[in-house]
Amino acid sequence: MGIGRVLIVGSGGREHALAWACLRDAPGLSVIVAPGTGGTAGIAENIAVDVIDAQAVARLAAEREVDLVIIGPDAAAAAGVADACAARGIPVFGPTAAAARIESSKTFAKQVMETAGIPTARWCAGDAADRTRLSGFIAELGGACVVKADGLALGKGVMVCGDVAEAERALDECFGELRFGDAGRRVVVEELLTGPEVSVFGLSDGDRVRTLVPARDHKRIFDGDRGPNTGGMGAVAPPDGAMDAFVDEVSRTVLDPCIAALREHGNPFVGCLYAGLMLTPDGVRVLEFNARFGDPETQVVLPLLDESLLDILTACVRGDVSAGVARARPGVAVGVVAAAAGYPGDVRRGDVITGTDALDDDVLCFHAGTARDGAGTFRTAGGRVLCVTAIGPDAEAARARAYGNLARVHFDGLQARSDIGRPVAAGARS
Ligand code: AMP
Ligand code: GLY
């Protein structure tokens, strides 16, 4: 299928990186990002749309005669954007709402993992009526557990508990206080695992999987993995040197069986299946599946990709992607996020951003919460404002370049971690 125009749905750094990669692969491509950011306005056409209004997105794709829709955020997939596009015969890279349940329902994900024999933490799921059973499981674990809201909760629906009282309190918050709204009326309780985390993306046509270089994001706001969780303050790829054998193992034991199970359920998954993994002393365990590219991992994974992303995505949509590990450039990519004052709480908007035009030619700046005002000046417009990504022969070299370039960027209240790409302290908690 010849691709002349693509529509990328979303407005994060991830979508900027997707647009950048598509244009790297096909410089003459026409790219629409909906709604996009201040950064995508410079390389693509931004069109305002509500990403969870599936019909509106599909209508836009039809009106603009796009050849491929690429879905960024989980909420758009869960809202049925792929279903609405498919109903109009528009090729779409991103799962149907039914297949996206692998992310939007943690109970569903655990059931899939269990039937497919995918290694994961021991678990127990239920709602308020199942309290006795849930409490029994918590007691069995000695209170060391993780309580997760079943539904989508903006990445904040996970409570790590050290003892029984804390875990019972977490159940009260879900069931009594409805801290996560309807998303937390049902919960999954899991055994508490330990070890470093790694994200692996598998691009699938519903049958086969092409796997990208692994990445690690840094979720906590402060250095040393302290403070509250955020959407991600930076990422490194690959996290621990060459990991081809590891990626092969993850494909074989995690991604392939998950894709096969979804197909057997009658919900073939076409899109990016993101496995959130923990490397425990007992081996690899899946913490979660996401039905989309990760953010900010995409901002470090795509710059290392040494194949055409556009070719892989179109092969997935056509149903003939080649299985295996995608070729990656040698070296390490480090991406450091600059966040606005107040993040991850309420953020200040409208601060003038300077210096993004003063970066080295081969250093990338992916915009997230930015907007261009009438005079063409970039201003902050969200929590995570931008991500500066640099590649180097090793992590320290990439870090030095990323931080050296980030130092040229300024806006009032800029927050960034200083340890992105460094090994994480095991077990660091706020
Ligand atoms: P999730 O959204 O399920 O990936 O959880 C978010 C974060 O919570 C993960 O990135 C981990 O840091 C932590 N987490 C989730 N599940 C577990 C677990 N079973 N044991 C320890 N930490 C976990
Ligand atoms: N970086 C974590 C995520 O995209 O869910």
What pLDDT score was predicted for residue 38? 92
Domain C-terminal end among 135, 168, 194: 194
Is 16 part of any domain? yes
Residue 181 binned pLDDT confidence (cut-offs 50, 70, 90): very high
CA of 218 to the centre of ligand 2 (A): 9
Residue 229 binned pLDDT confidence (cut-offs 50, 70, 90): confident
**pTM of structure:** 0.95
What pLDDT score was predicted for residue 156? 77
Residues 144, 185, single domain; the answer is yes
Residues 54, 128, single domain; the answer is no
What is the pLDDT averaged over residues 373-387? 95
Residues 271, 213, single domain; the answer is yes
CA of 290 to the centre of ligand 1 (A): 12
Number of structural domains in the chain: 4
Residues 236, 336, single domain; the answer is no
CA of 242 to the centre of ligand 2 (A): 22
CA of 354 to the centre of ligand 1 (A): 36
CA of 302 to the centre of ligand 2 (A): 15
Residues 225, 297, single domain; the answer is yes
The rounded radius of gyration (Å) of the Cα atoms in the chain is 21
Contact residues for 174 (Cβ-Cβ < 8 A; gap 6+): 147, 149, 180, 184, 185, 187
Q: Is 141 touching ligand 1 by the criterion CB < 6 Å? A: no
Residues 230, 324, single domain; the answer is yes
Residue 116 binned pLDDT confidence (cut-offs 50, 70, 90): very high
Residues 318, 357, single domain; the answer is no
Q: Is 217 touching ligand 2 by the criterion CB < 6 Å? A: yes
Q: Is 260 touching ligand 1 by the criterion CB < 6 Å? A: no
What pLDDT score was predicted for residue 189? 97
Residues 254, 347, single domain; the answer is no
Tens digits of residue pLDDT in 34-92: 999 999 999 999 999 999 999 999 999 999 999 999 999 999 999 999 999 999 999 99
| pLDDT tops 90 at residue 162 | yes
Residues 300, 340, single domain; the answer is no
Residues 323, 219, single domain; the answer is yes
Mean pLDDT of the chain: 95
| pLDDT tops 90 at residue 152 | no
Is 339 part of any domain? yes
Is 343 part of any domain? yes
Residue 93 binned pLDDT confidence (cut-offs 50, 70, 90): very high
Q: Which two tokens stand for residue 63?
A: 């009106």
**What is the residue with the minimal CA distance to atom 16 of ligand 1?**
287
Is 141 part of any domain? yes
**What is the residue with the minimal CA distance to atom 3 of ligand 2?**
294
Q: Which domain holds residue 148?
A: 124-194
| pLDDT tops 70 at residue 428 | no
285 CA closest ligand 1 atom index: 19
What is the pLDDT averaged over residues 352-357? 96
Residues 317, 265, single domain; the answer is yes
What pLDDT score was predicted for residue 277? 96
**What is the residue with the minimal CA distance to atom 8 of ligand 1?**
158
Is 423 part of any domain? no
What is the pLDDT averaged over residues 301-307? 98
121 CA closest ligand 1 atom index: 19
**What is the residue with the minimal CA distance to atom 5 of ligand 2?**
294
Q: Considering every ligand atom shown, identify the ligand nearest to the alpha carbon of residue 229 and give its number.
A: 1
